[in-house]
């Protein structure tokens, strides 16, 4: 059966997360239902990572096995037709080797988190950002973020329901950037690693927001990390500002 890689973009707000769930809408379920309109199912797709309820995708990657030998462009067009009007789009499709796997072939994941800094309620960006009304010190947040780079036991920043075998991960990038957004000043967090623990990025951002607000000193982030205790973590920020931005592979399956 031919295998196809799919690059997926979606808004997370209407869904209970990526993973298929009984009696709740999911991104995986929406795509599998669209596939069933092209070929008799059932279909089961695998993704590079499972995003939680409310989390968005800019560059999620999944793969599926089909009976028909589809032209990748026609496959993406057909899926997008059947995905309407749900906020899910297949932005690219590619034929891949039978042993290629969206999750296990990946070598890194990149996340983006957006904070909108303004007092007036968000309108156009509602549900797409975490909004705070107080100023944030970007330099202080970057100083705190630097404490987290490298290979560590990230128990402090790991959800209590995380199913990963080990809390030890290597964080390759955690960059804090001030951006002039269309709706006002934004703070962007660029986070990159081979893999992540459950709620790790949201735990990072929630903790660093406390640093930016002046409630924590940058050195407190190191103390929290070294505590290896979930209770030492700052608040976990809400999901709506989080995006799975990119999944990296040894060779880009979507390269022209």
Q: Using alpha carbons, select from 87, 3, 15 the residue that is nearest to residue 45.
A: 3
Is residue 52 annotated as part of the catalytic site, yes or no?
yes
CA 60 – CA 9 distance, rounded (Å):
6
Q: 201 burial class (0-12, 13-18, 19+ CB within 10 angstroms)?
A: buried
Q: Do 170 and 194 contact (CB within 8 A), yes or no?
A: yes
Kindly state the DSSP code that residue 139 receives in the 8-state scheme. Answer: H
Residues 6+ apart with CB under 8 A from 229: 155, 156
Catalytic residue among 52, 65, 146, 153: 52
Tell me if 243 is assigned to a ligand binding site.
no
CA 148 – CA 248 distance, rounded (Å):
21
The whole-angstrom distance between residue 126's C-alpha and the CA centroid of its chain comes to 18
Q: Which long-range contacts (CB under 8 A, 24 or more apart) does 127-136 make?
A: 127/11, 127/13, 127/54, 127/240, 128/11, 128/56, 128/240, 128/241, 129/183, 129/186, 129/240, 129/241, 130/205, 130/237, 130/238, 130/240, 130/241, 132/209, 132/213, 134/213, 136/187, 136/209, 136/212, 136/213
Q: Where is the binding site for substrate, in residues?
A: 111
Q: Where is the binding site, in residues?
A: 111
Q: Where in the sequence numbering do the catalytic residues fall?
A: 52
């Amino acid at each position: 059966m031919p295998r196809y890689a799919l690059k997926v973009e979606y808004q997370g707000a209407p869904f209970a997360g990526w993973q298929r769930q009984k009696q709740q809408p999911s991104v995986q379920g929406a795509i599998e239902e669209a596939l069933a309109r092209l070929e008799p199912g059932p279909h089961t797709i695998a993704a590079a990572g499972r995003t939680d309820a409310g989390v968005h995708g800019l560059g999620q990657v999944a793969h599926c096995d089909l009976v028909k030998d589809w032209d990748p462009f026609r496959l993406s067009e057909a899926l997008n037709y059947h995905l309407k009007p749900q906020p899910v789009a297949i932005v690219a499709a590619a034929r891949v080797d039978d042993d290629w796997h969206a999750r296990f072939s990946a070598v890194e994941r990149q996340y983006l988190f957006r904070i909108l800094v303004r007092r007036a309620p968000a309108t156009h960006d509602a549900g797409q950002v975490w909004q705070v009304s107080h100023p944030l010190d970007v330099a202080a947040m970057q100083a705190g973020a630097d404490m987290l780079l490298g290979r560590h036991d990230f128990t402090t920043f790991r959800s209590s329901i995380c199913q990963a075998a080990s809390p030890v991960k290597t964080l390759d990038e955690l960059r804090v950037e001030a951006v002039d957004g269309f709706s006002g000043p934004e703070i962007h967090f660029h986070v990159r690693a081979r893999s992540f623990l459950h709620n790790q990025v949201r735990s990072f951002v929630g903790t660093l927001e406390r640093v930016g607000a002046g409630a924590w000193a940058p050195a407190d982030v190191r103390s929290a990390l070294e505590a290896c205790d979930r209770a030492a973590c700052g608040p976990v920020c809400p999901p709506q500002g989080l995006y799975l931005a990119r999944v990296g592979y040894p060779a880009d399956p979507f390269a022209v």
